[in-house]
Amino acid sequence: MIVVFAMAAALWGLGVVMKIPRTARLYMIGLLYIGVLFIQIALPSGHPLRMATGESAALWILIGVFAAVAVLYGRVVKGLKDRALIKEEAEAPRAPRSESFSPSELERYARHIVLREIGGPGQKALRNAKVLVIGAGGLGAPALQYLAAAGVGTIGVIDDDVVENANLQRQVIHRDQDIGMPKVFSAQAAMLAQNPHVEVLPYHRRLTEAVAADLVDGYDLVLDGTDNFETRYLANRVAVAAGKPLISGALSQWEGQIAVFDPASGGPCYQCIFPEAPAAGLAPSCAEAGVIGPLPGVIGSMMAVEAVKLISGAGQALTGDMLIYDALWGETRKIAVTRRADCPVCGQAMAGEA
């Protein structure tokens, strides 16, 4: 048994040295446990491997049960703590902003202020706005940078991941020295270094059912830059329930797409267009299929543009349209998307219940 614990400690230490994410290290320990349990169950009593690993399957099963209970308890406590922290942050008093811009801000935002569609009122609306960005990865990185540069007053960013070396090919808000750091804190440091006039609220946790509604309720609009359908559908549900616009982007290899989902303004929601998640393998992740590095910058920047337009009232947002960009052939096309009456999230039946 001592040998097994020594191997587990060695795996953990090696993972720390190689800057392997904590979750991956836990998976390695779990695989080691499964291997030991298999040895205890499959090999006959007295076998050298069984002797070396404790010689008792019952003991390892008991250890596994205790570990499972501890993990479950930890998740419950973390969920309750996350919800309490989000409520506390939402209710925390904020220092009131001055009604007028400082000379530094006027110079910084001059190119916005001279735009007829934005002007002083639009820039003030940006400073008073609160925007939540889900994900600080490929799409979130450029969106966060440009929202901060544009002077959006309060920017929340939620992500439970840490910076990895493989991220740096496209997630340009993070640096090599940030490897191993939670993405939300790396992004916060970069945003404040770029514009100290904004407030950045980092949430180093996963968006879950337990916290999503409370979190979204404290913001004016939501940007979804996630890479999994579970979180996209969750973000859509809570945004629709809160009556908040959802700016959604997606990537695959050389192609990106962006749309604004806002049923409160008569447009469709995300689930109107994508009623069900695709079958496994039909929509591979960037890690599986690859993605050209600058593409997230293009789509993420477009997401920031849509946010600025919605906040300032400039132009026409992509509500009721989906813009698709093919980087390989340099083509852009826009298709109309419509609301579905039978949509389980925003359809007529749901509207009637509300």
- Tell me what pLDDT residue 279 has: 75
Out of 149-163, 287-301, 304-318, which region has the weakest mean confidence (pLDDT)?
287-301
Together in a domain, 185 and 282: yes
Q: How far apart are CA 157 and CA 182, in angstroms?
A: 11
Q: What's the CATH code of the domain at 260? A: 3.40.50.720
Q: What percent of the chain has pLDDT over 70?
A: 88
pLDDT for 134 beyond 60:
yes
Together in a domain, 133 and 217: yes
Residue 89 lies in a domain: no
pLDDT for 92 beyond 60:
no
Out of 1-5, 190-194, 302-306, which region has the weakest mean confidence (pLDDT)?
1-5
Residue 115 lies in a domain: yes
218-228 tens-digit pLDDT? 999 999 999 88
pLDDT for 93 beyond 60:
no
pLDDT for 275 beyond 70:
yes
Average pLDDT over residues 104-124: 95
Residue 222 lies in a domain: yes
Residue 33 lies in a domain: yes
194-218 tens-digit pLDDT? 999 999 999 999 999 999 999 999 9
Together in a domain, 149 and 275: yes
Together in a domain, 191 and 313: yes
Nearest Cα residue to 148 out of 117, 193, 118 = 193
User: Which long-range contacts does 57-66 make (Cβ < 8 Å, 24+ apart)?
Assistant: 59/1, 60/33, 60/36, 61/37, 63/33, 64/33, 64/37
- Tell me what pLDDT residue 241 has: 95
Say which residue, 28 or 76, is predicted with more confidence: 28
User: What's the structural domain count of the chain?
Assistant: 2
Half-sphere exposure of 234 (CA within 13 A, CB side): 19
pLDDT band of residue 309 (cuts 50, 70, 90) is: very high
pLDDT band of residue 343 (cuts 50, 70, 90) is: very high
Together in a domain, 166 and 225: yes
* Structural domain harbouring 46: 2-78
Residue 85 lies in a domain: no
Together in a domain, 62 and 117: no
Together in a domain, 186 and 287: yes
Together in a domain, 16 and 164: no
Together in a domain, 51 and 150: no
Together in a domain, 326 and 260: yes
Residue 59 lies in a domain: yes
6-57 tens-digit pLDDT? 877 887 788 777 767 677 777 788 888 788 777 777 777 777 777 777 767 7
Q: How far apart are CA 242 and CA 203, in angstroms?
A: 20
DSSP secondary structure letters along 204-222: -S---HHHHHHHHHTSSEE
- Tell me what pLDDT residue 71 has: 74
Residue 87 lies in a domain: no
Question: Tokens at residue 42, please?
Answer: 């499959």
Together in a domain, 170 and 39: no
Nearest Cα residue to 228 out of 160, 126, 131 = 160
Say which residue, 89 or 114, is predicted with more confidence: 114
Residue 295 lies in a domain: yes
Burial class, 110, CB count within 10 angstroms (exposed 0-12 / middle 13-18 / buried 19+): exposed
Say which residue, 97 or 36, is predicted with more confidence: 36
Say which residue, 284 or 190, is predicted with more confidence: 190
Together in a domain, 158 and 49: no
